[in-house]
Structure 1
Amino acid sequence: MPENIAMTATEVMEVIPNRYPIMFIDYVDELTEDKIVATKNVTINEEVFNGHFPGNPTFPGVLILESLAQAGSILILKKKEFQGKMAYIGGIDKAKFRQKVTPGDVMKLEFEITKFRGKVGTADATAYVDGKKVTTAQFTFIVDEAAEQTK
């Protein structure tokens, strides 16, 4: 792990509710008021590679989008006014997948808020591997009360 990180995985879990097997943020590289850069290490040990696809393991596009959304949730929920709340995907537009992501890849996830009004906002998101864009999308997000958790 790099020396100068903004948040560890443990600190991330204090902000968002995601846990194994759907916790995709390994650490946060950078965090500002309106932008986050986070890292997802893609490993062959992930359950999804048992079926997607045997002999040609490929990280699903929907999970790349989920990884971007989790990075966005961290950014949103670190804001003082939204601590203790939940961030939900309201929509995904203009998603483009430019190349496949495979085990051993390190995805850098950028999520930048472009508009925020009340509890609703929009953001531009990009996933990179080795400095190359692998996925881009525009997200609409909604911040709301956290649901009661059942045990």
Structure 2
Amino acid sequence: MEYTFNPELDQLTLAEIKENIPHRYPFLLIDKVTNITKGESCVGVKNVTNNEPFFEGHFPDHPVMPGVLIVESMAQTAGCLVVHTLGPASKGKLVYFMTIDSARFRKPVVPGDVLRVHCSIKQNRGNVWKFEGIAEVDGKKVAEATYSAMIMDSH
């Protein structure tokens, strides 16, 4: 899946992401969201740097982004897509990661990489949403997953 930035589509800055999901450093794993098509798909972007806290232990002499954090970046991207899709109806709600139905990791993600997470809504029934995520670096697939989330009141 080739990434081509489309300025005609909606996008979210880091500040806007923080308005959409509750995650903060060091667990905020997307820097911007681009190519948003409400109710369909978007692309989350993470600039992977050498000073990410998880690289201290994974692995000190050979830093590799943990696969579970790649999937978490997919979930955060999906959360932004749900909130953006629902608009004002999402006020007072949070998107909770529910399941990882399948995940496959193909190549390591290392410092200096730009991780692009393509997130697509596959199904939406009530407050449960199912997604497909494909993570790429330099146009090459590094991971893929199917996963679901539930939107619930934040209290």
- Relative to the length of structure 1, the TM-score reads 0.91
How far apart are residue 3 of structure 1 and its match?
9.9
1:110 aligns with 2:115: no
Matched, 1:7 2:15: no
Match of 1:51 in 2: 57
**What is the CA distance between 1:82 and its match in structure 2?**
2.2
Q: Deviations over 1:81-134 (max 9, x none)?
A: 223311111110120000100000000011111110110121111111010111
Matched pairs, number: 146
Q: Is the 8 A contact 1:77 1:84 kept in 2?
A: no
Aligned pairs for 1:63-102 within 5 A = 63-78=69-84, 79-80=86-87, 81-102=89-110
Counterpart selection for 2:21 from 16, 23, 38: 16
Q: Distance in 2 between matches of 1:122 and 1:56?
A: 34
Q: Which runs of 5+ in 2 are unaligned?
A: none
Contact 2:131 2:148 in 1 (8 A): yes
5+ residue gaps, structure 1: none
**1:54 aligned partner, one-letter code:** P
- Tell me the equivalent position of 1:35: 41
Task: Report the TM-score when normalising by structure 2.
Answer: 0.89
Give the superposed CA RMSD: 1.5
Q: In structure 1, how many angstroms separate the alpha carbons of the residues matched to 2:48 and 2:130? A: 27
Match of residue 134, structure 1, among 126, 142, 149: 142
Identity of aligned residues (%): 41
- Which residue in 1 is equivalent to 2:129? 121
Q: Deviation of residue 146 (structure 1)?
A: 0.9
Residue identity in the other structure for 2:73: S
